[in-house]
Amino acid sequence: MTRLYNEPTDFADEATDGFVAANKRWVRKVHGGVVRSTASTPGSVAVVIGGGSGHYPAFGGLVGQGLAHGAALGNLFASPSWQQVRSVSKSANNGGGVLLSYGNYAGDVLNFDRAQEKLRAEGIPTQTVTITDDVASASKDEKHKRRGIAGDLTVFKVASAASDAGYDLDQVVAVAQKANERTRSFGVAFTGCSLPGADEPLFTVPEGRMAVGLGIHGEPGISETDIPTANGLAELFVDTLLAELPDGVEQAAGQRVAVILNGLGSVKYEELFVVYAKIDQLLTEKGIEIVEPEVGELVTSFDMAGASLTLFWLDDELEGFWSAPCDAPAYKKGAVAEVAGAADIHDEDDFAAAIPDSSPESREAAALVVTALEAIKGTIDENADELGRIDAVAGDGDHGIGMQRGVHAAVDAARDASGKGAGAETVLNLAGDAWSDRAGGTSGALWGSALAAVGAALTDTEPASRHRIAEGVASAKSEILDFGATVGDKTMVDVLVPFSDTLTERIDAGDTLVDAWKAAADVATAAADATKDLLPKMGRARPHAEKSLGTPDAGAVSLALITQTIAGVLADARS
């Protein structure tokens, strides 16, 4: 379990600070993560990686000459926000475009995709290769749905080496895609891990048992068995991975393969070596040539006891890039040529937006938005512990903390913008940006999008009519449905859809805003309560998701609470 921390909410930020302090020779802190502190070749492709914290050396430990150019570092087990990804990418950019590469998880896809849009809109050519090496997470036919685990390293390594070799963005993308296609991993776990401040582990495996195929955040595995001998585990690993050769590899014999035996935290080096002794023997017996193997901790999950095997099926091009020198805080190979000078310091203040002109009516609406956000902040602060408790039943228990981080940042940004004379659209936009940036993860991105969608309907110039408000909520609904959840999946969508539909219906029927909103909020509250009868279907579901029957979804509950809070603000404003 995690024992050493100060405030749990500060853990990820403080870990980044300490990481940077200890590794100034390689990395420099920027908004959202780290970039190389050494200079990169002008015009070369920047490989930007990232993900949640808790997986060190992934992701910050893999930034340095010959490896990644930057890493966006999210909260614990939560995706970095798109703003973090964008910021790190802009700082890492050397003029040759950006490759975003990361493990395939819903929250990360959401945020990295959004960052990619933004970067392209700013004229920075950007491409993405998600990593899908975990064979336990989906069938071969649906390889694109698989999770990324220790195979992250092979893709990051060869893509970065290709950039160093002068490949352009399309060529680096092709190498990264080929590497991902030729990388297969399979893992097991013996225990869960506890996040800072948590009383209970995130998930548990019964003593003496082994969860087969379990993900690095406790995502469901394939089965559970007794813990085998070290040799038995080696056989399970090798048999499973040899049962699925990548396209283009006809047979195992005669192939050259990079091998990674990865420890997840508290399966220690000596145990890994005992297992590796057998893996080496088994692969050699099959006629496989092992190339520069790695046995150690490369993608961890705090102190989770577990291990995974990765096979990376090389061709000449990939082998050259796998073997190329690199020098990062936690991964070093061969002799890297001396680098002349430090990296350019990119301007980190280029994200301050100008405040567009606004009408007096819109500024009045903006003031009400600030009041509403302040009220929401009060509600969330009051309910944070309870939201965390509900979330911990089937999730990672950080919903309360995430909402707090988000709404606090949103209030600060909204006050600041409103004080500078911004209209409702700009205030909601900047508040949404701040929410998403500070909260990160899936929920942060959704709330950021929702606020921006409402803002777009209100505009900076028109009066905030009840019809525009209903349209804004409906537009936020569409935006969030686009992320893939549907009603019945036990998410905030179960509340948002009936809330928005009722609001539109009542306003179309001629109700006042106050009455319509209150009616819709009551529907939302009932809908949130009803999620207790549902099973979660998307995102990082936990192995024992059925435990959540009887408990509502935390995201649904917080949305319902927020609609009720706004109902109160609107009623007060009328009186």
199 scored as a contact of its own copies (CB under 8 A): no
Of residues 55, 69, 217, 399, which has the active-site annotation?
Answer: 217
Q: Name the residue nearer to its own copies (CB basis): 322 or 499.
A: 322
Max Cα-Cα span within the chain: 82
Q: Is 269 in the site for its own copies (CB under 8 A)?
A: yes
CB 224, min distance to its own copies, A:
14
53 forms part of the interface with its own copies (CB under 8 A): yes
- Using CB under 8 A as the binding rule, the residues of this chain from 281 to 310 that contact its own copies are 292-297, 300, 302-303, 305, 307
Q: 6 vs 575, which CB is nearer to its own copies?
A: 6
The reply to whether 102 sits near its own copies by the rule CB under 8 A is no
| Cα separations in angstroms, 4 against 1, 151, 264 | 9, 29, 18
Closest contact distance (angstroms) between CB of 229 and its own copies is 5
C-alpha–C-alpha distance, residues 406 and 373, integer Å: 11
Tracing tokens 């110039």 back to the chain, one arrives at 461
User: Residue 414 is which amino acid?
Assistant: A
User: Hey, which residues between 325 and 384 contact its own copies (CB under 8 A)?
Assistant: 330, 332, 335-338
Catalytic residue flag (residue 69):
no
Rounded Cα distance, 357 and 352, in Å = 16
- The kind and range of the H/E element at 511 are none
- What is the CA 449 to chain-centroid distance, rounded? 16
Among 56, 102, 167, 483, binds its own copies (CB under 8 A): 56
For residues 165 and 277, which CB has a smaller minimum distance to its own copies in the complex?
Answer: 277
DSSP track, 140-192: GGGGGGPPP-TTHHHHHHHHHHHHHTT--HHHHHHHHHHHHHTEEEEEEES--
Site for its own copies in 502-531 (CB under 8 A): none
The residue from 145, 268, 544, 547 that contacts its own copies (CB under 8 A) is 268
Using the rule CB under 8 A, which residue among 46, 63, 198, 261 binds its own copies? 261
| Shortest separation between residue 216's beta carbon and its own copies, angstroms | 13
Each residue 547-566 as x (binds its own copies by CB under 8 A) or -, in order, gives --------------------
Q: How far is CA 320 from the centre of its chain?
A: 31
- The candidate with the shortest Cα–Cα distance to 188, out of 213, 225, 221, 222, is 213
Is residue 15 part of the contact set for its own copies (CB under 8 A)? Answer: yes
Pick left, alpha or beta for residue 288 (phi over 0 → left; psi -120 to 50 → alpha; otherwise beta). beta
CB of 195 to its own copies, least distance (A): 10
Q: Which is nearer to its own copies, 221 or 448 (CB)?
A: 221
- Structure tokens of 410? 């949103």
Other CB atoms within a 10 A radius of the CB of residue 546 amount to 11
Rounded CA separation 139/132 (Å): 11
**Residue 259 β-bridge partners:** 311
Residue 152 · residue 297 · CB < 8 Å: no
Least CB distance to its own copies at residue 212 (A): 14
List residues with catalytic annotation. Answer: 217
Which residues are near its own copies by CB under 8 A? 2-6, 11-12, 14-19, 21-23, 25, 53-54, 56-57, 61, 190, 227, 229-231, 233, 261, 265-278, 280, 292-297, 300, 302-303, 305, 307, 330, 332, 335-338
